[in-house]
Structure 1
């Protein structure tokens, strides 16, 4: 690395890692409360804790620069405060947590690990904000990707910062359509709204992009309750499938790929989340060149800004097991801080009106909110699992020795999908 590039990386990393203590010079008003309503116990607790680390780092970086700058009448500089509410992965627990968060003074709600929970929160927030205008809240969604949430169920109060399932599938299809050796594919997913949406869209897009590919299996399984995927992988192997398409996440993905390794399934996995939360370590050597993942960003995206961003996160969370950084969550917090400052108030209607116009950049990644349906528009990347140290794989995942080499980059314009949203807005 030449001296000028090293200096640039060092300066970028220092800026991203500015200590939270720097905020102590600036605060004036009380904290702006953010409620994280997520599964922090149960079968997907690891995913919930990974989210918390990402959001905590994002909050720390906003607070390190002095918090959110507001007029004196609105409290002047105010820190962000991230409060945890465990929904245990259940709708009713999430609704109970929402009530508690509102009673505790939260004006921002964040959730993402489960589209079913997100749908329940959208309905509850719509009702709350209509009935209790003095207790309105905004919902920022970082990973609940059922397309219905920004289509039929779109809401003025809901903003999604992840690419939805149809967008992700379209990105994967750009790779699948070029795989001329692929003739037979197996579809498997979690039996809830998101998993169903993934398989439905996989069937549709295969029919359009690769009508020559035969779907030899199409199966949904209970979410978070399967401890042994061996029977499923035995069926997949015996079907003659050359590849699996899945939207599985968390332990349902990890156990799925572990079973594939155990039964000797030699096909590819086209995944939404194969790059994180234990999957690369579980697959091991068998996944090299075979596990494909789509994401908004990957650690091995080329560029000094991207590298500095990733290095800063690893400095903040140095344990290999904690290495699960999500660019979109950082952009989401940047967008929130920007919207509050431009609104000059924390009033949810004013902040939502500014969030509709949000455009933010970090680590070389730029995204913008689409006002029509509150679906964030950003570039996507597709990567394939390789050994760390091979060309294009400087960084591994969770200390596994395996990372993802970027094989396709999709611009925000290419990733954009139409919407059926007919949004009702406050008068």
Structure 2
């Protein structure tokens, strides 16, 4: 009788494990980012990179011996309200993982808060939010959530990398803070003044301006303001068209500024804007840049991505976000959202840019950051052009995720 009981139990467990794949052959992931409006090109980059990662997971056989990923694509319209509507739409379609980050921190915050409320009311339909690009430190700080994971280095980490580099640049003396008027822009200015000021107490901050996001077509009045203040450098969190239009206006005014930014080379149009301007140095920070030395896995992935999609490769972290999710699911041996979230906590992953770790206490991914400047091809520091120009990327400094890690106010409430 004892043998029969053990055999029946084992048979039940085997049937249950097999049922994971048979009951649900796909796990739905919902992409919620701008697919229309002035930042639609940014959304397209993210969706293409995420789809590439999803395809790679599926090509490896999916997760749990046969469960494939399926990505639903929804337009955030760069609006918190629209994103919350899209989130409910995604949940109604059966999505259990939400991919967001290219709509700005206010949108991501709204999605995370809405998801947390939904999960509390509907634990059997709980969703996890994977943030691939929003860099708001409060998302892993005082507004942290068990259901949210940040896959991009946050504002404080990026600014620390830039501050470390600016410390070595004595020619920078007068800095202006020009940023978009929303949470990210204000934070980029705040951390810029704090961390750069700490690294270089001799630097003068000669002015600060916030402007509407995605609405300014001519930045010449702002450029004139910076010039009148005597700025030789600007700390700007502008991205997409807002950065490219700023570069154009400065060029038209023959104003040779230095720019310090978080993602300039990881979006289309900025390198051509610099090449066309021929003046101004744009220095930015990311987990990788095309042509970066000693990162052969990322270069190989960039070539494979270009061959498959016909598009340039910008952001390794966006591609490996679904791959890390897959690793967590296989570690958890479950499609249960709580178990997947717990498996993500503390997870280490050997990515194409080197080992990365999801810090358990606040769900901040620790990944390397490369300070680099968009510069003319010289065959030495810059070996190849980008986006059809003779400008590429010069590596200035490289920092590990652990070197840039910051303290956190996060106090996660776990289910």
Give TM-score, length-normalised by structure 2: 0.91
- In structure 2, relative to structure 1, the CA distance for the partners of 1:287 and 1:122 (3 Å cut) is farther
- In structure 2, relative to structure 1, the CA distance for the partners of 1:225 and 1:288 (3 Å cut) is closer
The 5 Å alignment of 1:105-124 reads 105-113=94-102, 114-124=104-114
User: Which residue matches 2:317?
Assistant: 328
Return the match for 1:150 from 135, 140, 145. 140
Unaligned 5+ runs, structure 1: 1-25, 71-76
How many positions carry a matched residue from both structures? 392
Return the match for 1:207 from 193, 197, 209. 197
Report if the CA contact (8 A) 1:40-1:87 is conserved: yes
The 5 Å alignment of 1:54-133 reads 54-70=49-65, 77-113=66-102, 114-133=104-123
Which structure 1 residue ranges, 4+ long, deviate > 4 Å from structure 2? 26-29, 285-289
User: Which residue matches 1:45?
Assistant: 40
Note the C-alpha offset of 1:235: 1.4
- 3-state SS, counterpart of residue 383 of structure 1: strand
Q: Distance in 2 between matches of 1:371 and 1:396?
A: 39
- 3-state SS, counterpart of residue 422 of structure 1: coil
Report if the CA contact (8 A) 2:298-2:316 is conserved: no
Q: Distance in 1 between matches of 2:299 and 2:350?
A: 15
In the alignment, does 2:351 pair up with 1:356? Answer: no
User: Which residue matches 2:410?
Assistant: 421
In the alignment, does 2:144 pair up with 1:179? Answer: no
Note the C-alpha offset of 1:285: 5.4
Note the C-alpha offset of 1:30: 2.0
Return the match for 2:399 from 410, 419, 422. 410
User: Which residue matches 1:398?
Assistant: 387
Return the match for 1:170 from 144, 149, 160. 160
Q: Distance in 2 between matches of 1:28 and 1:399?
A: 48
Note the C-alpha offset of 1:206: 2.7
- In structure 2, relative to structure 1, the CA distance for the partners of 1:383 and 1:364 (3 Å cut) is same
User: Which residue matches 1:309?
Assistant: 301
User: Which residue matches 2:16?
Assistant: none
Q: Distance in 2 between matches of 1:230 and 1:390?
A: 34
Report if the CA contact (8 A) 1:296-1:381 is conserved: yes
Moved more, 374-383 or 205-214: 205-214
Report if the CA contact (8 A) 1:288-1:387 is conserved: no
Return the match for 2:214 from 214, 218, 224. 224
Unaligned 5+ runs, structure 2: 1-20
Return the match for 1:35 from 30, 45, 49. 30
User: Which residue matches 1:11?
Assistant: none
Note the C-alpha offset of 1:191: 0.6
Q: Distance in 1 between matches of 2:299 and 2:397?
A: 18
Note the C-alpha offset of 1:329: 1.2
Q: CA RMSD in A?
A: 1.7
Report if the CA contact (8 A) 1:277-1:324 is conserved: no
The 5 Å alignment of 1:145-294 reads 145-275=135-265, 276-284=267-275, 286=277, 290-294=281-285
- In structure 2, relative to structure 1, the CA distance for the partners of 1:287 and 1:60 (3 Å cut) is farther
Q: Distance in 2 between matches of 1:141 and 1:179?
A: 33
Report if the CA contact (8 A) 1:380-1:410 is conserved: yes
Note the C-alpha offset of 1:207: 2.5
Q: Distance in 1 between matches of 2:339 and 2:229?
A: 55
User: Which residue matches 2:15?
Assistant: none
User: Which residue matches 1:8?
Assistant: none
